[in-house]
Structure 1
Amino acid sequence: MTTTTTKSPSQSPAASGLVLRKASERGHANHGWLDSYHSFSFADYYDPAWMGFRSLRVINDDLVLPGAGFGTHPHRDMEILTYVLHGSVAHKDSMGNGRTLTAGEMQYMSAGSGVQHSEFNPSSTEAGRFLQIWIVPDEKGAKPRYAEKSLRSAKTGRFHLLASKAGRDDSLAIRQDADLWLAKLDAGQAVSRTIPAGRHGWLQVAEGEVTVNGLALATGDALAITGETALSLTASAATQVLLFDLN
C-alpha cells in the first residue's frame, strides 16, 4: 500500500512510502548573480530534517546570470554530478580539465583526496540553469577523476542510466552503490520503473509536470521513496525527471 505524506520538520525522510518534498519548501538563496534552491541543508540553509537522503547529500537547482559563476574553490571526498538544463557552464579544474557543457550534458567529478575547480556561465546574454548533485562516496582519499556524458539525443519515453557503481551500460562510474536514471517525457507519455526491494529512491522533477503513482508533481518537487518498489509516471507537459536508486 502506498503511503503519501507531505513531510513536516518532525518527520524523517526515511518514513515508509512516498514522502513529498515540495519545491516551495526548499531552501532558497538569491545572491543576485546566483539564484539557488536547496533540496537539502546547504551553506546558510539548515534544516535538521533535510540533511540529505541515504548517500544523496546535495541537490541544488542553480540559475547563474550571464558572465557570472563560482570562482576557484576546493572539494574533497564527494562525488559531484552537474546536469545542465539550460544555457551552458564552463568548468576548469586542478586535474587539467577545461570544458564548456551545454544543455543535456552531465559532468562528473570525483573530488577524492582533493581538487579545485571553477564554474562560470560563459554566455554574455543567456542565464544558465543546472542541477548540482553531491553523493557521499563509499571510500575516502581516492584519486580525483573526471568524466562527462551527453543526454542531448536521449530518446523520450524511457529511463536512461546516467551513473552507477560499476559504470555499467556505458554509464558514468561513480564511487558509491547508487544508480542515477534520467527520463525525458513528452506530454502524455508514460513510463514505469521498479526499485529493488530493500533499496530506496529519490525522484527529482528537473522540469515539467508529471504524475507519480497518482501524485501530481511539478518543477522542483521531489519524492523520497522507501518501501515502494513500483513507480508509474505520466507527464502532462514536457518533463525531465532524475531518479536515484540508493542503498
Structure 2
Amino acid sequence: MKCVLVTGGSRGIGSAICQKLAIDSNYHILINYQSNKAAAEKTLEAVVQNGGTGEIIAFNVADFEEVKSVLTKWQEANPEAIVEAIVNNAGITKDGLFMWMSPEDWSSVVNTSLNGFFNVTNFFIQKMLRNKYGRIVNIVSLSGVKGTAGQTNYSAAKGAVVAATKALAQEVAKRNITVNAVAPGFIRTDMTSDLDEKELIKLVPVNRFGEAEEVADLVSFLVSKKSSYITGEIININGGIYS
C-alpha cells in the first residue's frame, strides 16, 4: 500500500489537495487533522466519492513526541504501507503587529509551520532514502517569500520552510526524492474569509482570489512522477502579485 500524508488535511487547501489526489493518484491518503474531526471525516467522504481510499489520522504536527508516537503506531499497524509522499500543509496564523506580539503568538505559529515540517518529514526521510523514492511538498505562502506586514511570525515560519526546502532538496536528490514548496497568495478559504477581498483584489493582477482547487492541481503535479526533474523550487501561485 503506497500512501501520501497530507498534514492539516481536513479543511481549506489541505482538503482540496486530498480530494485532488484521490482523482489523480493511486495513493491511499492519510488525512491528518488536529482538532476538527468532523471536517476530516467530511474530507475522507469526498476522497472516497472521488474514487480514492484514505483514513484520518489525528496528531499535532508541532509536538515531536506525539508525531513520532502516532506515526509509529500507524506504521506498526500497517507494516506493508509505504509513505511515498508528504504534503506539509498544516499551518496557523496569529496576526498582529510585531511590537505587540506575545511570545505565544510567535512560538505557536513557528512551531506549527516550521517544527511541523521537521517533525513529520524527519519521521519518514530515512525510509524514503532507503526506498530511493519520495515526494515532499511544503505549502508555504506569499508571506514567506515577500513578507507581509502584520504577519512577521507567519512570514518568519514560512520563510524558514522556504530555505529548508532548498537545502533538503540538495541532500536527498541523488536518491530520487524531490523537495519543493508551493507559495499561495490570496486563496479563498476559511483562513482568508476575514480579509477584505474587494480591497485586496486590487493588488492581484488577475483580479480575483485563487481557489483551493487551483493550488491542489499544482501540488498533485509535484507529488506525481511527472515532476521528477523539479526539486528545490518555490512555486508561486498568486495571480501575479509577486512576479
Q: Which has the higher helix share?
A: 2
Q: Which has the higher strand share?
A: 1
